[in-house]
Structure formats: C-alpha cells, structure tokens
Structure 1
Amino acid sequence: MKEIPLLATTSFIYCDTRVMNVLRLMHLFDEIELLYFESRRMFDGIDENELLLLKKLNIRYCPHLPYDRDLSRKSDYEVITDFVGNLTKLPVSFFFLHSNGKDYKNIEVLAEKCPMVLVENVKNTKIFEDLFDTKINYCLDIGHLLTVGENPFEIIKKYGEKIKYIHLHGVKNGVDHLELYHLDEKLLLYIIDFAIEKKIGISLELFGFKRLLDSLNYLLEVFEKHGYAYHRWYQKW
C-alpha cells in the first residue's frame, strides 16, 4: 500500500465558526486550512479568543491569508504581517498567499521573515515563473490551473521542486471547488503520487459538507482501486 502523507480540508465545511469546523473535522485530517479570505469583514479578522481555543486543539493548521489586500501598500502589508504574527501562535505548517502581481518585493520580504509563506497560483502560473529564482516556495492550486486551461502535468514537472502544498478540487464548465470526482482519474493519481514522493500535503479545498462527503467517498474508492492508504481513514462513513 502507498501511504498518503498528509491531508487537510477547509474550515468552511459546516456553516459555523472556524473552531466548530475544526472540532468536527479533526479526526479525519492532519491539518485544517483556516480561511481568512476577507480581512475587512469582522468574521475574518483575528480574534484572540478564537486563537486560544484553536491552540488547545490537537491539530496543525495551514491558514489561508486574506486576499483582499495589496501587499505593495504599506498599510495592507502591515495587516498581512499582523495576521502572520498572530497565527504563528498556533501550530502552523504553511500559510497560503495570493498575489496581485505588483507586490513581489514585499512578498519576498515577508517570506524572508516567515519561510512558511507559500505563494499560490490564482489566474495563471506566471507568478511561479516570476519568482522562480527567489527563495519563495509555492502552493499549487489544481482547480485554478484547470479553469484557465493550464496543463497540471507540465506545471508540476516544471516547478515541482518549489511546490510544497497542493490545493485540490474539482472543476466543471469553468466552475471550481467542486467534488473531486470531476477530476480526471489519471491526473488525480499523478497528483497523489507526486505528494507521496515529495512528502507534501494536499488540502481538499471544498466548501460544504455534501461536497466533502461525496469527495471523500470517491477518494476511498480510488484508494481501494489503486492501493493507496491514509492513516485516518479506515472505512466508509
């Protein structure tokens, strides 16, 4: 059996708080991707009480930093560094960061201070090429690749040494974050094998319980068919 090294999912599977999502999901995953998408909304701000509760839970986190900030602006850069500073109070593996393409200088400064910051592809992988000669590592979002028609096999071969995490979700008719059964099985197996070889994590970047449940049952079928195992899953639920 080939062992999957690490799986995660998001903190918005249930329509509830991040803490409650973690409590209900932590038995199934090694890490939870804490979502802080919109920092100007109260719900996505840093809350000290929430941090205290999250810290008490026996699980690691991989937070998604806000994407509503322009890191080329000093004030917005300070907001993001404040998020990183507060969230590093938790057991964190990596942070995921979007770029607008104009903020590379400050991203390099941030990544120098916190090497756990990974830059994620959004509209295309031009950012991977632009930052290739820096020390910054990458989070590869498979769904984002597919929605813009890029070839995941070629991207993984080209940038594989800098890819430290994968965001996985299905795509259909240009819509992403769908169930995993929308992915080509050959591609799914290639991604899993790459993650095993490099010993990196895969986050099932889904929103909603049914999409997660259907995706997990599909993965179990794929695992059984092709000889994969994941230490937290033993039977269908």
Structure 2
Amino acid sequence: MSDADARTISLKKAFEFRLGTTSYIIPDDVLPNIAFLADKIDDVELVLFESDELSNIPAPDQVRELKKMARDNGLTYTVHLPLDTWTGSADESVRKSSVEKIKRVIDRMAPCDPFAYVCHLHGDRRGRNPVDNPEFWVQQHVKSLTEILSLATPHDICIETLDYPFSMVESVVWDLDLSVCLDIGHLIIGGYNVEEHLDKYMHKARILHLHGVRQGHDHTDISHAVPALLDDLMDRINRADQPERVLTLEIFTQRHLERSLEVLRPYANKV
C-alpha cells in the first residue's frame, strides 16, 4: 500500500461504535495529530502526562482549539488520565497528589466534553501481584475516586484492565458505579481469557482498547490478531442495539494505524 493510498483510508462513521486511535500517530504535537486523524476516525484518545520536568496537558487556548476541531469534524475525545498517579498508595501525600493531578486534568479538559476518561489503578509493582495488602489498596482507590467524582460522573470514569487480575479492583467499579475500559491487548499479553472478560464486563465497558501483541510486545498493529477474536468482538459491539462505545486502536505510529484500519475494513457497515 502506497503512502497516497494510506492517506485515503477512512473508517469514519463506518461502524455502530465510534472508532478511535491515539493522539500520537504522526511525529508532531496533539493539534496536528487531530487534524491528520479528523477525517479517518470518530474519536481520539488524548494521551496526557504531567511530571515535574515535562507536561503535555493542553493550555486553555489549545483546549478551545480542540473543542472547535471536534465540533467541526464530528469527533469525540477520550482522555487518558496521567499514568504517573498512584490513587491506591498507602502514602497519603502520594495519594492526595495523584488525586489533585487527575482533578486538574479533568477540570482542564472539561470544555471538550470528553466521551470518557481512562484511569489506571496502579499498584506498587507490575505483574499479577501488584501490592502486599490488596484490601487496603482497594480502599485507598475508593477514597481517591470518591474525591475525583466531585468533578466527573461515575459513568465517565473508565477503569482499565492492566496486567493484574481485574477481579482485584472490580469492587471499585461496582461500589462506585464506574465504567470499564477493556484493554484487549493487555488481557492477551497477560494470559487472561478475553472471552470471559468480555462476557463479564462488557455491560460496563464504554471503551475498549485494541492493539496487537507480537513477540511479547503490545501496542503494535492488529494484523496478527486472531480472526476468531476479532469476529467475536465485532459481533458483540458492531450492532445497532448496543450502547454507544469507543473502540480505540491504542497504537502510536501511522504505519500501525494504516495496517490496523485495513484489518478492520471488512467489518465496516459502510465505507
């Protein structure tokens, strides 16, 4: 496929769900990425970060431009809240700082009326056993999210499946009536049963993340995805009787996007 052909690929309004990808597809800032993607997809995941040294949180004038670009192009945004937050930390200063960082982002992005916010509930370490005291960890997450909900509705906060069993934090979703972000790539690379997770959590899933897993690495294109998995996923979400959802191709290069759109093209209702 030539670069010229790649530029013409569009699956905008081609499904019963909203198809999205990340704000880091071309090597440029957020606004040029939105301009590049506007005629190709329905939603853009704004991947945001903030640290003492670096931040890509849009300034107020950029937020106004993002809002205008969304309105003019029929786009929605999902906002990926900063990764360097520890809302379950036993250290109250760390927990409170994380809550304030998340609240700043929600407050800044509110004028864009995001479709939803994606939230990671990090532990102290990676892997299937993220903390030594899971019960207290969950209590801390509940405390943090209760504070965050002063700025957002429960429906709009989507807790993402990570590398630990999601059952460890599902009570947070149930107790606060939150939503779920089912990251299929994370489930695959973690060795979890995707079908079981779709069965159990789909009714709460407003966002799904889809990306390829190859040689132990995720967030690649989906050209190697198991056809039966894609068939099952499309059967579940590409239906008029389903609630509005976003399926985000959580990848970070133009080439991976092109390949992934080609894989999804046969499932499109209209192109």
Q: How does 1:89-128 map to 2 (within 5 A)?
A: 89-101=111-123, 102=137, 103-111=141-149, 113-115=151-153, 116-124=156-164, 125-128=166-169
Specify which of 221, 232, 236 is matched with residue 179 of structure 1.
221
CA distance in 1, matches of 2:33, 2:181: 23
Q: Report whether the alignment pairs 1:65 with 2:81.
A: yes
Task: Give the Å deviation of 1:44.
Answer: 2.0
Task: Give the Å deviation of 1:41.
Answer: 4.6
2:194 counterpart residue number: 152
Larger-Rg structure: 2
- The superposition leaves residues 125-173 of structure 1 with CA deviations (integer Å, 9 ceiling, x where unpaired) of 2345332432111000000001110011001111222111100101122
Distance 1:151 1:179, change over 3 A: same
- TM-score with structure 2 setting the length: 0.77
Alpha-carbon RMSD: 1.9
- TM-score with structure 1 setting the length: 0.87
Distance 1:62 1:139, change over 3 A: same
Task: Give the Å deviation of 1:75.
Answer: 1.9
Specify which of 148, 171, 176 is matched with residue 130 of structure 1.
171
Are the equivalent residues in 2 in contact too, given 1:108–1:136 (CA < 8 A)?
Answer: no
Match for 1:126: what amino acid? Answer: S
**Number of equivalenced pairs:** 225
CA distance in 2, matches of 1:152, 1:112: 33
Are the equivalent residues in 1 in contact too, given 2:25–2:254 (CA < 8 A)?
Answer: yes
Unaligned residue ranges in structure 2 (runs of 5+): 1-13, 89-94, 124-136
CA distance in 1, matches of 2:254, 2:207: 23
CA distance in 1, matches of 2:215, 2:114: 34
Counting aligned pairs with the same residue, the percent is 28
Task: Give the Å deviation of 1:3.
Answer: 3.9
Q: Report whether the alignment pairs 1:45 with 2:57.
A: yes
Partner SS for 1:192: helix
Are the equivalent residues in 1 in contact too, given 2:159–2:173 (CA < 8 A)?
Answer: no
Unaligned residue ranges in structure 1 (runs of 5+): none
